[in-house]
Structure formats: structure tokens, C-alpha cells
């Protein structure tokens, strides 16, 4: 049994219908176009992508101290990303509108790597906070997921009422 590249339905065509060289040329053009489309799609989709998470943590060594606001930024994409810092944006009409926490030394995160940064050791989170995000060297903002951000705000309210 011989391995054929041309499908069986193409072999039934006669020379009077289509020349075999024309069929082979069209077949090659179609396969090349599909391969080109796949390569473009792969290159466009493979990017660095950051996931931002935050939590309030209690210090086990000092149980009576306030919770610490800690942010974790993870590269969940396939390309490296240079993280410049973390910011908190407040709702419109609030002054100041942003609180910035730049990295002392910007950190290049390869795929799967993370950055852990303490924003505040007193459990502080400004009132009317709208979003928490990290920004990269291109200026793109990577926001914390809405559901996780609401959970963080609820956690902050519970902790601030207990103190």
C-alpha cells in the first residue's frame, strides 16, 4: 500500500478535466495558506499575560499586629513581561485618584514566575477603591479579577471592623 499525498477523489480527474500539475499547485497553495494562518495566529496569541492577586495576611510572629496587604503578580502567559509596579485606582471624584507603588527594581517575569510585593504593613486600603492593578514596561495595566477584588474589599471591611 503506497502512501499518497493527493486525495483519492483527485485521482479520478482526467487530463481533459484538469492537469495534475494544476491540482498539485492548488493543493500546495491551500496547505501553505493554512500553515501561514496557523503561524500568524500562534504568534499573535503567544504573549505575556499577568494575573494580579492580593490578600491581607496576619503575621504569625506578631498576632496583635494589623494585617499586611500583599500583592502577587504572576506571568501566566508564554512570553516574559517586565513589571514596573502596582497601583490602586480610586473612584472618580476621589483625591488622589491613584496610589502608585513602583518596584524598586523592575522585575522581568518569565512564564510561570511571580512577584510578591507588600503594599502596606498596616492593613491600609484607601476608601472608594475601584481597582488594583500592575503595570508593565509597555504601560499596559493588568487588573485584579473583579470577583477576587470584591473578596479583598470584603476582607478589608471585616478586618477594619474587628480592630
Residues 25 and 85 in one domain: no
Q: Residue 27 sits in which domain range?
A: 15-45
Residue 156 lies in a domain: yes
Residues 97 and 141 in one domain: yes
Residues 140 and 63 in one domain: yes
CA 12/CA 20 separation, integer angstroms: 11
Select, from the ranges 12-26, 30-44, 120-134, the one with the highest average predicted confidence (pLDDT).
30-44
Domain count for the chain, please give it. Answer: 2
What pLDDT score does 113 carry? 94
Residue 43 confidence (pLDDT) above 90: no
Torsion from C-alpha of 92, 157, 125, 140, nearest 10 degrees: -60
Residues 63 and 103 in one domain: yes
Residues 38 and 105 in one domain: no
Mean pLDDT (whole number) for 150-161: 82
pTM: 0.67
Amino acid at each position: 500500500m503506497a502512501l499518497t499525498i493527493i486525495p483519492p477523489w483527485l485521482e479520478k480527474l482526467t487530463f481533459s478535466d484538469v492537469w495534475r500539475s494544476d491540482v498539485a499547485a492548488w493543493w500546495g497553495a491551500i496547505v501553505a495558506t493554512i500553515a501561514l494562518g496557523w503561524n500568524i495566529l500562534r504568534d499573535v496569541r503567544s504573549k505575556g499575560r499577568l494575573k494580579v492577586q492580593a490578600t491581607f495576611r496576619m503575621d504569625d510572629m506578631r498576632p496583635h499586629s494589623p494585617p499586611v496587604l500583599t500583592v502577587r503578580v504572576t506571568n501566566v502567559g508564554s512570553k516574559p513581561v517586565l513589571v514596573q509596579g502596582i497601583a490602586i485606582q480610586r473612584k472618580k471624584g476621589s483625591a488622589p485618584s491613584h496610589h502608585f507603588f513602583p518596584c524598586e527594581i523592575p522585575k522581568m517575569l518569565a512564564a510561570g514566575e511571580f512577584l510578591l510585593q507588600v503594599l502596606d504593613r498596616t492593613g491600609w486600603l484607601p476608601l472608594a477603591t475601584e481597582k488594583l492593578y500592575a503595570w508593565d514596561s509597555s504601560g499596559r495595566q493588568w487588573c485584579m479579577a473583579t470577583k477576587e477584588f470584591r473578596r479583598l474589599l470584603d476582607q478589608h471591611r471585616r478586618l477594619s471592623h474587628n480592630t
